């Protein structure tokens, strides 16, 4: 854990401030509120939340089974162990790492730390909504930049929208829900143009699925641009979405700033134990990546064969142009007990489908051919 200490009084003050801001936000049903989600029928094929269908490493499962002896204790030592293991993976120190209850906690605390009613967040439209949802609780202004004609994040326009009032620039790379990529050169040019007072929050939840040589993690830019903060997660390639474990990587100054708004002991001992085991199981990570990338390729080949328009993806999901509003298609898939991604307001004709196991993905394609017989379009 970072060497950043604060008193219980300061901790209580921080939590009180955060809760007050959240409670002051106008009430509205949020995608992130599980109370507004529907129950899943037994036997459903779940291709709606970009989860890893193969689940966690067997070594992580074994770690969970054997952690009963430590669950009665606060996880101080294990938090340090995991922080140090992540730091070692990237040749950094624990001062460069902050653990979180999923990477969405990192997105939340970035907003709490760098936004207020006089600040703004700049993001693509569409992108992962968490930063915009949390910014709303901070009464900050959201500046949404439309995607390019190729469904990619328009980094020059996003950088140009950043001013002295911009607290956070959010870049999801690869982007959710489009699966498109920001290249290394595009990221370098963007960082050069963004004011140094703006936090550049780069969400790399899907970086493990990228095979394009033009991609590079934003980690390499942190020494030159200390305003860069990278968010990572154990939810995707590590298959631990239900266990909620993520982390931030950044310069010591930024890690110290966001750490003041993280919940104390925000990762439970069992999850940390599983995280340590997952991090060390390189063979399982490689196997999951190979299987999911192979199935992604199979899916895209099947869509191309059928003459469908889709967005080539660098993540573990694909966006398919259905030709009309997707809600009716979503409902028809649900009737077949296949769950696909929700409707995105700025891309209402595109349906996001997670890459499942090979049999699950084949079942989706078979259902797609029944629900929407293939047209004569071609890949985007």
φ, ψ dihedrals at 122, nearest 5°: -110, 130
- Look at residue 36 in the predicted model and tell me its pLDDT: 55
Reported as a single tens digit per residue, the pLDDT across 234-254 is 999 999 999 999 999 999 999
350-378: string of b/e by CB count within 10 Å (b at 16+)?
bbbbbbbeeebbebbbebbeebbeeeeee
- Look at residue 375 in the predicted model and tell me its pLDDT: 66
Is 283-371 in the same CATH topology as 58-280?
A: no
- Look at residue 4 in the predicted model and tell me its pLDDT: 39
According to CATH, what is the number of the domain 283-371?
A: 3.90.1150.10
Share of the chain above pLDDT 90, in %: 83
- Rounded to the nearest integer, the mean pLDDT of the chain is 91
pTM for this one?
A: 0.90
According to CATH, what is the number of the domain 58-280?
A: 3.40.640.10
β-pair partners for 142: 121
At 31, the pLDDT band (50, 70, 90 cuts) reads low
- Look at residue 15 in the predicted model and tell me its pLDDT: 46
Residue 360: pLDDT above 60? yes
Reported as a single tens digit per residue, the pLDDT across 271-296 is 999 999 999 999 999 999 999 999 99
Where are the chain's structural domains?
Answer: 58-280, 283-371
At 314, the pLDDT band (50, 70, 90 cuts) reads very high
Residue 19: pLDDT above 70? no
């Amino acid at each position: 854990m970072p060497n950043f200490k604060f008193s219980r009084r300061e901790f209580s003050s921080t939590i009180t401030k955060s809760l007050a801001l959240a409670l002051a936000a106008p009430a509205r049903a949020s995608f992130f509120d599980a109370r507004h989600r529907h129950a899943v029928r037994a036997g459903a094929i779940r291709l709606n939340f970009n989860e890893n269908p193969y689940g966690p490493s067997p070594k992580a499962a074994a770690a969970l089974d054997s952690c009963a002896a430590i669950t009665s204790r606060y996880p101080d030592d294990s938090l340090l162990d995991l922080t140090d293991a992540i730091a070692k993976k990237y040749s950094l120190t624990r001062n460069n790492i902050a653990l979180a209850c999923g990477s969405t906690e990192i997105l939340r605390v970035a907003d709490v730390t760098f936004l207020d009613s006089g600040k703004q967040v700049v993001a693509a439209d569409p992108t992962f909504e968490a930063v915009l949802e949390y910014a709303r609780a901070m009464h900050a202004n959201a500046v949404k930049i439309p995607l390019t004609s190729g469904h990619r994040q328009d980094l020059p326009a996003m950088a140009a929208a950043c001013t002295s009032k911009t607290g956070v620039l959010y870049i999801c790379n690869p982007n959710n829900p489009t699966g498109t990529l920001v290249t290394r050169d595009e990221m370098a040019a963007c960082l050069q143009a963004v004011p140094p007072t703006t936090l550049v929050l780069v969400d790399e939840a899907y970086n493990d699925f990228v095979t394009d040589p033009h991609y590079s993690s934003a980690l390499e830019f942190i020494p030159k641009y200390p305003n860069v903060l990278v968010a990572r997660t154990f939810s995707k390639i590590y298959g631990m979405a239900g266990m909620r474990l993520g982390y931030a990587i950044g310069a010591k100054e930024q890690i110290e700033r966001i750490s003041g708004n993280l919940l104390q002991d925000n990762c439970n001992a069992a999850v940390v134990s599983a995280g340590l085991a997952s991090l060390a199981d390189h063979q399982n990570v490689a196997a999951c990546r190979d299987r999911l990338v192979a199935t992604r390729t199979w899916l895209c080949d099947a869509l191309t064969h059928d003459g469908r328009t889709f967005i080539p993806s660098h993540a573990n999901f694909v966006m398919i142009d259905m030709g009309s509003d997707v809600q009716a298609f979503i409902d028809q898939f649900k009737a077949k007990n296949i769950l696909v991604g929700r409707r995105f307001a700025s891309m209402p004709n595109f349906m996001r489908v997670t890459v499942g196991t090979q049999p699950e993905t084949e079942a989706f394609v078979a259902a797609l051919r029944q629900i929407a017989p293939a047209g004569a379009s071609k890949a985007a």
